[in-house]
Structure 1
Amino acid sequence: METLQNVLNTLGGIVWGPFVLIPLLLGTGFYLTIRLGGIQFRTLGRSLRHAFVDKNEAESDGDISNYQALTTALAATVGVGNIVGVATAISVGGPGALFWIWVTGLVGMASKYTEAFLGVRFRVTDSKGEQSGGPQYYLKRGIPGTFGKVLAFSFAIFAVIASFGIGNLTQANAVAANLESTFGLDPWVSGVLMFVLIGSVLLGGIKSIGRITSAFVPMMIVIYVIGGILVLILQIDTIPAALAMIFTDAFTGTAATGGFVGAGIMLAIQFGVARGIFSNESGMGSAAIAASAAKTSHPVRQGLVSMTQTFIDTIIVVTITGLVIVTTGVWDVGREAAGTMTADAFSAALPGEWGGTIVSLSIVFFAFSTILGWSYYGERSLESLVGRKGTIPYRLIFTAVAFIGATVQLELVWSFADLANGLMALPNLIGLLILSGLVVRETNAYLKFDPKLRASTEEVAAYMRAQGSDWK
C-alpha cells in the first residue's frame, strides 16, 4: 500500500506539475481568450444580468433553469479549495500566488464559456426525456472518428472515479472533521446525517439538486463573503500594503520571513495556477455537464451564464480568502499551518469565536454542496458509458460512500482521485482546442444577432431556423 501511495503521489505530481496540466490549462485559457476576442471582459455585465436577473428562458428546452444550472456548477466548484487551497498556495508561493490565481481565473472564464457552450451545443435527450451533455458527449459528437470516442470514453471514466474521490470521500471527511472540531459531533453521527440528506436529494435527480442548490449556494457564499468583508473593513488600513505585496511578489518572489521559507517567482506561478485551477475547475469539463441540463434557447447564452461561475468563485470568493490571509498577517506562519490559516485569519480579526465558527461552517457548507454537484457529474458520466440503468445503483453507492468518507481516513483514495481529477482534464482540453473554431464562428454570429442578450425565445428560434442549425 505504501508503494502504491508513493506511485500515485509521483504520478499526481507529474500530471499537476509545471510541465503537463498547468501550462496546458493556462495556455488553453489564453488561446481561447484571444480567439474569442476577450469575451469574458466585453460581455461580463450582460452575462451576470442574464444569469441573475433575466427570466426569459423558462419556455426553452432543458430540465432546470440556467440559474439552477449555474448554482449546481457553483455547488461543485465553490468548495474547500476556496478556503484551504488558497491558504496552501500563499503558504508555499507567498502573497504573489494570489495574483496568479486571479490570472488563472480570468483566462479560465474563456475556457468555462467554451466547454459550457459545447455542452449545450452537443447535448442529447436520454431515454427518460432528460438532457445529457458534457465532454463525454461533445468530444464524441464534435470530433469525428475513433479519436473523439477515445477522448470521450477517457473523460467519462476519470470523471466517475473523481466523483467518488474529490467529489465525495474527501468532502465528506472535511464536513465530519469540522463538525467534530467545532461542535464536538461524532463523525459517525455526521456520516448518518449526510447519508440521509444526500440520499434524499439525489433520489430526486437533477431537478431536486437544482432546487436545493439554487436556494442553498447563494446563502453559503453570502455568509462567507460577508464575514470576509467584515474582516477587511476592520483591516482596511492594511489593504493597500497587502495589494502592493501581492502584485510585487508575483514578479519578484517573496523573501523568507517568520515561518515562511521564501519562494521565487516560479513557485508563486506554479502554486497560484495549480490552486486557481483546482478552485474554479475551468477547463476541467465538469461544469459543462450541469450547463447541458439548462433551459436555454442558444448555447451562447448558457455559455455566458456558466462563465460567471468562474468570476464568482475566483474573483470574489478566492479574493476574499486571499486578502483576509494577507491583511491579517498570518500568511507567513509556514506551510504546516495552511490547513488552519484561513480560520486563524478570521479569528485574528473578529471578536470571540466568530471567526473560527464562520470558517468551520463555511467548510461544512462548501463541502456538502460540492458532494451534490459532483454526484450529478459522476452520474451523467456513468450514463454515457452504461446507459440509464446505472443511475439508481450509482446514486445508492454514492450516498453510501459519503458515510464512509465521514468515518474513515482514506489517504490512498485521496491521491487516486486527485490523479483522476487531473486526467479528466486532458481529453477535455484537447477537445476545446480542436473545437475552438466552431465555438468562435457560432459565438460571433449569435452575438452579432443578439448583442445584448435580449432576444425572446421565439426570436432566437427564428434566428436558428434561418441559420439552418440543428443543435437541438
Structure 2
Amino acid sequence: MQIFEQIVKQVDDFVWGIPLIVLILGTGIYLTVRLVFLPIRKLGRAFRYVFRKEEGEGEVSSFGALCTALSATIGTGNIVGVATAIVAGGPGALFWMWLAAFFGMATKYAEGLLAVKYRRVYPDGHTLGGPFYYIENGLGKKWKFLAVIFAVLGMCVGLFGIGTFSQVNSITSAVGNVFAGVPDVNLFGTSYNLAVVIAGLLLTAAVALVLLGGVKRIAKVSEAVVPFMVILYVLVCLVILIFNITAIPAAFRDIFVGAFKPSAVAGGIAGSLLIAMQKGIARGIFSNEAGLGSAPIAAAAAKTKEPVRQGLVSMTGTFLDTIVVCTMTGLAIVITGAWKTGLDGADVTISAFSQGMPGVLGAAGPALLTICLVFFAFTTILGWNFYGERCLEYIAGRKKAAIYAYRIAYILAVLIGPYMTVAVVWNIADVFNGLMAIPNLIALILLSNVVFRETKKYFLRYPTSRSGMEASALEDEEEKSYCRLEGVEQGSEKPPAEQAGALYDKEERDPNDRTG
C-alpha cells in the first residue's frame, strides 16, 4: 500500500507541476484582461441574474443550475482541501487559492457562456452541453478526439476523484472523530470504528435514493440544501472570527508573507514556495472547479436564451466558493494555529473549530463541523454523479442501461470510500482534476474570440441591468425590437452571418472562427 501511495504522489507532483499551473493561471489572466476585468465590473449584475426567472430552452432555472454546480463545488474541498493545502504549504497557500479564484471567475464565465451557446437540445426538452460539445461544435469535428478525452476523464473524476472517494472519506473521518468512543468492527482484516461503517452505509443509501430521481431531483435537493449549508457554515466561522478578532491582522500578515516566503511564517513546518503555490492552486481548483470543465455541464441545463447571462451566473459560483467559504475556513485554521498541530485532513478543521470557540461552543465545534461536512459532501456527491452521467451520455448516447451501470458503479464507489486513507484519496483526486482541466483549457483558449464577441454583442444590447420581472420583460421587448431590426429570429442561438447584418462587423471577425 505504501508503494501505491508513493506512486500516486509522484504522479500528482508531475501533473500539478509548473506547466499546468501556468496554463490554469495564464488562461484566467488572459480572459480577465481581454474581458477588461469583467468579473469585477459585472459581479453585482451577475448576482441579480441569479434570482431572475427566464424563459428559454433548458431543464432547470439559472438558480437551479447554479445550485447544482455549487452542490458539486462547495464540498469537502472547502473544509478539508483548505486544511491540507495550509498544512502542506503554510498559510501562504490560501493566497494562491484567492489568486486562482480571482482569475478563475473569468474562466468560469467563459465556460458558462460557451456551454449554453453550443449545447444540444433534444425534441423532448432534454439538454446536453459542456466542454465536450463546445469542443466538437465550436472547434470542429476534427477536435472530437479531445472532446472524448474530456468526457472519459470527467467520468473518472466523478468515480475516483472529487465525486466519491474524497467526499465520503472526509465525512466518515469526521464522524469517527466525533464518535471516537464507539467500539471497532473488523472488516477486510482491518478494524474500523462502528460509527464510520454505519455512516458509510447510510450515506450510500441516501445517495442511491436521490440518484433514482435524475437531474431534476438533484436540482431540487441542491436548491433546498445549498443555501442552508452555506449560511450555516459561514455563521459558525464568523463566530470563530469574532471570538478571535484581535488575531485577524496577524493571520492576514502570515497569509501574504507566507505566499512568497513560507519559511518566514512556518519555519520548517511548511514546504517551499512551489509547494505553497502547487497546493494552493490545486486545492483551489479542486474547490471552485474553475477551468476544470465541470460547471458548464450544469450551466448547459439552464433555462436561458442568453449565453452571456448564464456565464455571469456561473462566475458567481467561484466567488461564493473560494472568496467566501474557503476564506472562512482558512482564516479559522490560521488564527487558531490548528495547521501546526500535526493533524491532517478534516481533523485540522475540527481542531480549529474546537479551539476557536470557548466553553460549550468549543465543545460543540466538532459536531457542528461534522453537520456542515455531511451537507457539503453529500451535495457534491450528487452533483458529480450528474456530471459523470452527462459525460457518459456524450460518449454512449441516451442509453438507459449505460446510465444505470454508471450509477451502480458510482454507488459502489461511495460504499468503499470510507475505507481509503486520506493522503491517497486527495492525491488521486488531484491527478484526475489536473488531467481533466487540460482539454477544457485548450478549448477555452481557442474559442476565446467567440467569448469576447458574444460579450461585446450582449453589453451593447443591454448596457444596464434592472432587477426583477419588470427588467426581464423589458429585455424581452428590447430583444424583439432588435431582432425585427436585424431580421433575425428571436431566441435563435446562432444566426447565420448573412441574416445577422449589423450584428457585428465583418472586419471584427476572426478569420479562424468557425461559429458562423
Question: TM-score by structure 2 length?
Answer: 0.84
Q: Aligned match of 1:130 in 96, 114, 126? A: 126
Q: CA deviation at 1:443?
A: 0.8
Amino acid at match of 1:154: I
**1:360 corresponds to which residue?**
370
Q: Give me the identity figure in percent.
A: 45
- Provide the residue aligned with 1:156 in structure 2: 151
Mapped to 2, the partners of 1:314 and 1:288 lie a distance apart of 18
Moved more, 82-91 or 302-311: 82-91
Distance in 2 (alpha carbons) for counterparts of 1:67 and 1:247: 35
CA distance in 2, matches of 1:283, 1:464: 33
Q: Say whether 1:373 aligns with 2:359.
A: no
* Residue range with higher mean Cα deviation, 373-382 or 90-99: 90-99
**1:149 shift after superposition:** 0.4
For the 8 Å contact 2:262–2:271, the answer to whether it is kept is yes
Alpha carbons of 1:257 and 1:194: their partners in 2 closer, same or farther (altered >3 Å)?
closer
Check the 8 A contact 1:90/1:98 in 2, yes or no.
Answer: yes
Change (3 A) 1:64 1:233: same
1:229 equivalent in alignment to 2:225: no
Which residue number corresponds to residue 432 of structure 1? 444
Kept in 1, the 8 Å contact 2:154–2:391? The answer is yes
- Conservation of the 8 A alpha-carbon contact between 2:116 and 2:299: yes
- Supply the distance in 2 between the matched residues of 1:409 and 1:253 (Cα, whole angstroms): 27
Change in Cα spacing, 1:264 to 1:460, as seen in structure 2 (3 Å) is farther
Q: Structure 1 residues 401 and 448, CA, compared in 2 at 3 Å: closer, same or farther?
A: same
Shift of 1:449: 0.9
Alpha-carbon spacing, 1:467–1:361, altered in 2? closer, same or farther (3 Å): farther
Give the C-alpha shift of residue 413 in structure 1. Answer: 7.2
Q: Give the corresponding residue for 1:254.
A: 263
Offset at residue 270 of structure 1 (A): 2.7
State the one-letter code of the partner of 2:222.
T
Could you tell me how far 1:439 is from its partner in structure 2?
A: 0.5
Where in structure 2 are the equivalents of 1:24-43 lying within 5 Å? 24-43=23-42
Deviations 1:92-117 (A, max 9, x none): 32222222211111100000011111
Alignment of 1:232-247 (within 5 A): 232-247=241-256
SS at match of 2:263: coil
Mapping 1:56-67, distance limit 5 Å: 57=54, 59-67=55-63
- The 3-state SS of whatever aligns with 2:287 is helix
Counterparts of 1:265 and 1:16, CA distance in 2: 14
Q: Does 1:423 align with 2:418?
A: no
Paired with 2:225 and 2:298, the residues of 1 have a C-alpha distance of: 16
Q: Quote the offset at 1:339 in angstroms.
A: 4.2
After superposition, the Cα gap between the structure-2 partners of 1:277 and 1:407, relative to the gap in structure 1 and judged at 3 Å, is: closer
Q: Deviations over 1:74-132 (max 9, x none)?
A: 11111111112112222232222222211111100000011111111111024753111
Aligned equivalent of 2:477, options 433, 440, 459? 459
Q: For 1:113, which of 109, 112, 119 is the aligned residue?
A: 109
Q: What is the number of equivalent residue pairs in this alignment?
A: 465
Contact persistence 1:95–1:254 (CA under 8 A): no
Name the aligned partner's letter for residue 449 of structure 1: R
Q: Does 1:93 align with 2:83?
A: no
Q: Describe the superposition over 1:155-212 as per-residue Cα deviations: whole angstroms up to 9, x where unpaired.
A: 0000001111120133223223322332455334223322322122111111100000
Identify the residue that residue 46 of structure 2 maps to in structure 1. 47
Q: Which runs of 5+ in 2 are unaligned?
A: 183-193, 466-470, 496-516
Query: Higher Cα Rg: structure 1 or 2?
Result: 2
Rounded to whole Å, the distance in 2 between the matches of 1:361 and 1:332 is 24
Runs of 4+ in 1 over 4 A off after TM superposition: 1-6, 407-417
The alpha carbon displacement at 1:230 in A equals 0.3
Q: Tell me, yes or no, if structure 1 residue 10 matches structure 2 residue 10.
A: yes
User: In structure 2, how many angstroms separate the alpha carbons of the residues matched to 1:99 and 1:467?
Assistant: 50
- Specify the alignment match of 2:280 in structure 1: 272
The question of whether the paired residues in 2 share the 8 Å contact of 1:187 and 1:407 is answered with no
Normalising by structure 1, what TM-score?
A: 0.92
Matched, 1:217 2:226: yes
Gaps of 5+ in 1: none
